[in-house]
Amino acid sequence: MTPLVWVLVVAVVVLAGAVVAGLVIGARTVRNLQESRSADHENRERTLHAAKAKVDDANAKAASVRAEVAAAKAEATAARAEARRVLESAHEEADTILEHAHRQAESDAEQVRTAARRSGEREVALLNTTVKEQAAEVERRAARIDERERLHADEVERLVERERRLAAMDADLSAREAALSGREAEVAEAEEQRRRELERIANLTAEQARAELIEGIEAQAKREAAILVRDIETEAKRTGDTRARHIVVDAIQRIASEQTAESVVSVLHLPSDEMKGRIIGREGRNIRAFESTTGVNLIIDDTPEAVLLSCFDPVRREVGRLTLEKLVLDGRIHPHRIEEVFESAKNEVDRLCERAAEEALVDVGITDLHPELATLLGRLRYRTSYGQNVLKHLVETAHIAGIMAAELGLDVATMKRAAFLHDIGKALTHEVEGSHALIGADLARKYGESEDVVHAIEAHHNEVPPQTIEAVLTQAADACSGGRPGARRESLEAYVKRLERIEEIAGGKPGVDKVFAMQAGREIRVMVRPEDVDDIGAAVLARDVAKQIEEELTYPGQIRVTVVRESRVTELAR
């Protein structure tokens, strides 16, 4: 059966159901009307019985009531007429309801038929559209299949043509290879004939000619290298002193302010700013008496609850600081009290210096040192170099030198003594002109030290060329103690400037891609472009950077320059 037939069958079934529903509704309506009529009839019967009862009562009462009986009869008659009228109207209403139900059922059936017909038409239209779309899709697929077959045929033709060209190219290459083989044989034969002819003319074999050529080039290169070295040495000697002066002046100009502030200034904290007025005194008499007695400049500025004590002599500055600290704690500040406290502070500092010198000598193991040298050593308790305490530096250097001497089989006591006294001249650098190495050598010679110890002291900074093993080991131990991490410090600004200058030196070389300063500036990694710098150029670049850093910068220890040249080739597999 077709979908349209099914739709019509469904519509007929729905219509039949609607008719049956209408008939059921009409039957219910008629039954309800009959029940209503029965109820009216019963009511009428009850009314008639009541009327008869009244009539009987009226007959029993009196004749005067006959009029009422007549009226009751009239009323009964009217009631009968009304009952008949109600019954007739009920019949008419039932007929009307049945007719309306029939018409409504017919109308509903017609609507159901119309809706079924429309639904069937829409379904048929939808089916027709679906069939048309499927047919169009089949046609499109057939067209794509035809196109693919055509493209496949074209591809097959191209592959056949390509195979044919490849076969022709293979044949051509085979012919060319054969021709090249013949030509190479001819070239080799001609080269051999030329070599034999040259050997015949020169009376030399190829190996002998190569050796003579290399020997001549080597001699010429050595001569040119010697001339270049001589010129470089002459130029270096001519410009070395001037450039060294510029470098030293530049270094002093860059670090003088920071280093001076660290070396000659002490800070004393006050309990309150009111104490500053008491320190100054009336018309400044207290501060003048303090500076004349202690030899220390007292700086009172806007710094809250603090004053500065400035003096180049670290021992005198410490005496002044201790004097002022005691005066502040005591509260009595006047010229006479300042002199008393100064003497007490001076004696206390002298005792601290003597105790520090004794402890250092015991630590190192030296017992026969001259008392004047021991006193000078105690003064180094308050002397620092780049933030490193000089007396502790001497103890460290002595221990390091003793270990080296023991490993090399030298005199450990002499080695320790030389290393322990190598910076003794720093105790008098503000009182005597000259470098601390030469001042220390004169002091050691004056107080009876051996010539080996004196020479090690005067040569530890190369003012005098080192001539003994003790002098060389003193230099090495001094460098180990001063160059260890954390031993010495520099200001953050100077540290950053040094790193930036190192990176700037390396970055200014040709072929450099990136520069990294590592390990607090103790190692420089230089990344070069491999297409611009070869392996030999990398070695030359590392040497040039190291030389320029040595010439332009001042730094403790050593700086390693590492040049990295990397070649990478990347290819994609598809």
pLDDT at 386: 65
Q: Percentage of the chain surpassing pLDDT 70?
A: 83
> Does 315 map to a domain?
yes
Query: What pLDDT is stored for residue 249 in this prediction?
Result: 45
Indicate whether 17 belongs to any domain: no
Domain boundary among 326, 350, 374: 350
Q: Are residues 422 and 495 in the same domain?
A: no
User: Is residue 373 located within the same domain as residue 475?
Assistant: yes
Number of domains in the chain: 3
Report whether pLDDT(574) > 50.
yes
CB 400 within 8 A of CB 460: no
pLDDT tens readout for residues 337-390: 888 888 888 888 888 888 888 888 888 888 888 888 888 888 888 777 766 788
Any idea what the CATH number is for the domain that residue 467 is in? 1.10.3210.10
State how far the Cα of 523 lies from the Cα of 516, in Å rounded to an integer. Answer: 8
Q: Could you give the CA distance from residue 395 to residue 357 in angstroms, rounded to a whole number? A: 10
DSSP state of 557: S
Q: Model pTM?
A: 0.42
Considering only 220-234, 299-313, 396-410, 544-558, which range has the smallest mean pLDDT? 220-234
pLDDT value at position 488?
57
Q: Classify residue 194: in a domain, yes or no.
A: no
Domain boundary among 350, 378, 412: 350
| pLDDT the model gives residue 258 | 40
Q: How far apart are CA 150 and CA 316, in angstroms?
A: 107
Please determine, for residue 27, whether its predicted confidence score (pLDDT) is greater than 70: yes
DSSP one-letter string for 378-398: HHGGG-EETTEEHHHHHHHHH
Q: What range defines the domain where residue 389 resides?
A: 364-488
Residue 419 lies in a domain: yes
Q: What is the pLDDT of residue 381?
A: 81
Q: Is residue 253 over pLDDT 50?
A: no
What is the Cα 299 distance to its own chain's centre? 46
pLDDT score for 387: 64
Q: Does residue 387 sit in the same domain as residue 479?
A: yes
Q: Output the six-digit token pair for 195.
A: 């070599």
Residue 251 has pLDDT above 60, yes or no: no
CATH code, domain carrying 536: 3.30.70.1350
Residues 288 and 335 grouped into a single domain: yes
Residues 295 and 336 in one domain: yes
Contact (Cβ atoms closer than 8 angstroms) between residue 309 and residue 324: yes
Radius of gyration of the chain (CA): 63
Q: Whole-angstrom Cα distance, residue 320 to residue 139?
A: 111
> Cα–Cα distances in Å, from 114 out to 11, 12, 522?
9, 11, 101
- Of the candidates 292, 286, 7, which has an alpha carbon nearest to the alpha carbon of residue 126? 7
Q: Is residue 60 part of a domain?
A: no
User: Where residue 145 falls among pLDDT bands split at 50, 70, 90?
Assistant: confident
Position 50 confidence tier, pLDDT thresholds 50, 70, 90: confident
Please check whether residues 471 and 370 belong to one and the same domain: yes
The answer to whether residues 391 and 444 belong to one domain is: yes
Nearest of 300, 294, 296 to residue 278 by alpha carbon: 300
Task: Flag whether 86 is in a domain.
Answer: no
- C-alpha triplet 272, 277, 282: angle, nearest 5°: 160
What does the pLDDT read at residue 242?
65
478 SS3 class = helix
Q: What is the pLDDT of residue 556?
A: 63
Q: What is the pLDDT of residue 107?
A: 82
| Same domain membership, residue 482 and residue 496 | no
| More reliable by pLDDT, 548 or 264 | 548
**280-306 burial string, b = 16+ CB within 10 Å, else e?**
bbeeeebbebbbebbebbbeeeeeeee
Same domain flag for 472 and 519: no
For residues 19 and 431, the model is more confident at: 19
Answer yes or no: are the C-beta atoms of 419 and 456 closer than 8 Å.
yes
- Banded model confidence at residue 429, pLDDT cuts 50, 70, 90: low
Question: Tokens in use for 93?
Answer: 């209403």
Residue 520 confidence (pLDDT)? 67
Same domain, yes or no, for 474 and 495? Answer: no
Band of the pLDDT at 511, cuts 50, 70, 90? confident
Per-residue confidence (pLDDT) for residue 241, from 0 to 100: 61
For the packed helices 436-446 and 451-458, what is the interaxial angle rounded to 10 degrees? 170
Q: Which two tokens stand for residue 421?
A: 């006294």
Unique residue bearing structure tokens 């850093």:
549
- Look at residue 193 and tell me whether its pLDDT is greater than 70: yes
Residue 491 has pLDDT above 60, yes or no: no
The three-class DSSP label of residue 469 is helix
Is residue 278 within 8 Å of 290, Cβ to Cβ? no
What is the CATH number for 326? 3.30.1370.10
Among the three residues 328, 350, 372, which one is the final residue of a domain in this structure?
350
Reduced to 3 states (helix: H, G, I; strand: E, B; else coil), residue 298 is: strand
Lowest mean pLDDT among 92-101, 129-138, 179-188: 92-101
Average pLDDT for the chain: 79
Average pLDDT in the 177-200 region? 80
Are 386 and 489 spatial neighbours (Cβ–Cβ below 8 Å)?
Answer: yes
Residue 480 maps to a domain:
yes
More confident: 426 or 526: 526
Is residue 301 in some structural domain?
Answer: yes
Query: Confidence band (pLDDT; 50, 70, 90) for 557?
Result: low
The mean pLDDT value for 424-431 works out to 75
Q: Which band of pLDDT confidence, cut at 50, 70 and 90, is reported for residue 64?
A: low
**Is the domain of 328 the same as that of 417?**
no
Same domain, 413 and 429: yes
- Checking 348-356 for CB contacts under 8 A at 24+ apart, the result is 348/322, 349/315, 349/318, 349/319, 349/322, 350/378, 352/378, 352/381, 353/315, 353/378, 353/379, 353/381, 353/382, 354/378, 356/381, 356/391
The pLDDT of 414-423, averaged and rounded, is 88
Provide the pLDDT for residue 248: 41
AA identity, residue 290: F
**CA 439/CA 457 separation, integer angstroms:** 9
Q: How far apart are the first and last CA of the chain?
A: 60
* Contact of 517 with 536, CB cutoff 8 Å: no
Whether residue 280 has pLDDT greater than 70: yes
Contacts of the segment 76-82: beta carbons below 8 A, 24+ positions apart: 76/47, 76/48, 76/51, 79/44, 79/47, 79/48, 80/44
